[in-house]
Chains A and B, each alone.
Chain A
Amino acid sequence: MNIELAGAPEDVQYFGWALQQLPEGNRLSGLLAVPDVLPSDVAVAGVRDVYGKYLYREPSVSLSQWRSYQRRAVQLPGEAPLYADIVSRGGSEIEAAQDELYDADRHLPGIIDDLAYQAMLAGFLGAFDKDTTAVHWLATLLLRGPLNRQLTIGSFFRMLTGGQLGAFESVLPTKSETRALAKTLFTEDLHSEYQLPQTIRHYADFVSSSPDLGEGFPRPRSRSPRPRPRSPRPRSGPSGAGNQTST
């Protein structure tokens, strides 16, 4: 479900953007739009489920190949790819795609950048949840660029940390500023002004008061999905990729 986000509190804007744009999050965004349909812990588990699919590929999950209406349905051979898969795959395949992966501003063929875009949105959800790996992925994507996206990731952290991180001296980040922020994200504990349950509640409050949900709007069914336990996740990969991008 897509709800207008203009005018929403900042955390709601980023949260809603990520949840609504990720194919796996769209259904949950509809459920969250009705206050109190989901108990808080179920809603949190649902959000973890969403970003986990993009950052960790939890077992037995088959990601839908949906792309937004204006994007070409480009498929790589084999399983549904994730940005994390491509970075961690290594070997000759990654050598052939180095420019696409690490130099986004100069080489941008599309599909890998699509996946990086999804990874960024999933990273936002994970960062709200203080998920270290999600924050590390955002640092990796920050180093990769392109410049507009670096600006976006910087602004996200400026919001999340109440201005402690992510502010750039000029409008656009310089390379040294980007590196400094990425290093901080990799090495220091993140101070966050927001908690995931609180942001979920802000989102539900904002969306349920949205005029878009007027008479006749198909309300989501109130049946709650079964919460999935948070499974243990591999903690390797992104930091190595981050080192490679910083050259």
Chain B
Amino acid sequence: VAPILIYRGQKEWHDGMIITASSLRRSSAAPDPKSWTNQLLGIIDNLLDSAADGNVQARKQLEDQLLYAQLSAYQNPYVSCSRQWSVALGFALKDDTPGYVLTISGDDSIGLDFPGVRNRFGLFADSQDYLQEYGIPRSVRPPFKVDDVYLYGARAASRERVYP
């Protein structure tokens, strides 16, 4: 196990909430979001393997796939988190309204480190590397777990611990 600590900003939270990948929640174009999500994960895994074998075409496709995942929610089979707390806060406070910042711990070897993969293969990141995105496949479940949750008021004017 390679321990990792990551953050996620969201607008809603309740104890026991199942946090899922956006491809599972926002894929009305796909008749079966579950298999669509598995398909996306399979594509990315295959591309990672082929790119590691030196396949130039796969490396380029991986570049596109990572950009799609970050720019079109239904293309993202991961629960989007960030290594940077400030990025999570940005998502939590989007639209200048209150939001929650979750601290999540887990196993680094299971998720997808977007900037890490890009650095490894020399891929174009557009502006997305600012996000320091770390993707947990499908949903937050063991070995990943939510450690704590804070509710921030609009413009971070207040902070309240709501979990645990």
Contacts and interface: CB of A to CB of B under 8 A. Distances in A.
- For the residues of A in contact with B, the DSSP-based class is loop
Assign chain B's interface to a size class.
35 or more
Nearest to A112: B29
A17 B28 contact: no
Contact of A21 (B64, B86, B122, B130): B64
Interface of B: 22, 26-30, 40, 43, 56-57, 59-61, 63-65, 67-68, 70-75, 84, 86-87, 89-91, 93-96, 118, 122-128, 130-131
Nearest to A70: B43
B68 A175 contact: no
Contacts of A238: none
Contact of A148 (B28, B57, B70): B70
Interface of A: 2-8, 13-14, 17, 21, 68-72, 74, 104-105, 107-111, 113-114, 117, 146-149, 151-152, 154-156, 170-172, 174-176, 212
A175 to B, nearest CB: 5
Contact of B26 (A107, A147, A155): A107
A5 B61 contact: no
Given A151-B127, A151-B131, A170-B90, 7 more contacts: A2-B64, A4-B123, A107-B26, A114-B72, A146-B71, A154-B127, A175-B94
Nearest to A173: B90
B40 A172 contact: no
B75 to A, nearest CB: 8
B96 A5 contact: no
Which of B72, B86, B90, B130 has most chain A Cβ within 10 Å?
B72
A88 B9 CA distance: 34
B10 to A, nearest CB: 11
B28 A2 contact: no
Contacts of B75: 70-71
Contacts of B68: 68, 70-71
A174 B86 CA distance: 13
A166 to B, nearest CB: 9
A110 B87 CA distance: 25
A103 B126 CA distance: 23
A72 B30 contact: yes
B64 A172 contact: no
A171 B128 CA distance: 10
A172 B89 CA distance: 9
Nearest to B95: A175
B126 A155 contact: yes
B83 to A, nearest CB: 12
B30 A176 contact: no
Nearest to B128: A148
Nearest to B93: A174
Contact of A4 (B72, B94, B124): B124
